[in-house]
Amino acid sequence: MEFNQKEPIYTQIIDDIKIKFINGTYQSGQEIPSRRELAKRLGVNPNTIQRAYREMEDMKLIVTARGQGSFMTSDSKILEALREEALNAAVSQSIEMLRSFGKSDEEILDTMKKYMKGENLNDQSGTSR
């Protein structure tokens, strides 16, 4: 995992674990690496991992059983909320970027509909994607 300098490492670790849960890398109820193991694997301070895990426990994303380890939540509502959050963030970022290109909301919506139908979309140069 490569870290950026724009946000705290612990939040990047949380985001990575969320993505792995959303995409199925981590399953509901699955044990995740111990704090020590993950700190070693990522080359970060164990306190950073401790903070990430504590935050995820507060979010109910993980459950820690004393002496047994930490596990992804089995609550399907939390997974669904994470998926919805990720979808909304992706759509929002895409729309803002397209608006910054000078596209109207109607043009954006038309393009999205065509793309989802699998129609051949052309860029301004006339070449297809």
Interval 80-89: pLDDT, tens: 999 999 999 9
pLDDT at 91 over 50: yes
- b/e burial code for range 13-27 (CB count within 10 A of at least 16 → b): bbeebbeebbeeebe
Give tens-digit pLDDT for 42-73: 999 999 999 999 999 999 999 999 889 999 99
Rounded distance, CA 30 to CA 84, Å? Answer: 21
Q: How many other β-carbons are positioned within 10 Å of the β-carbon of residue 111?
A: 14
pTM of the predicted model, to two decimals? 0.76
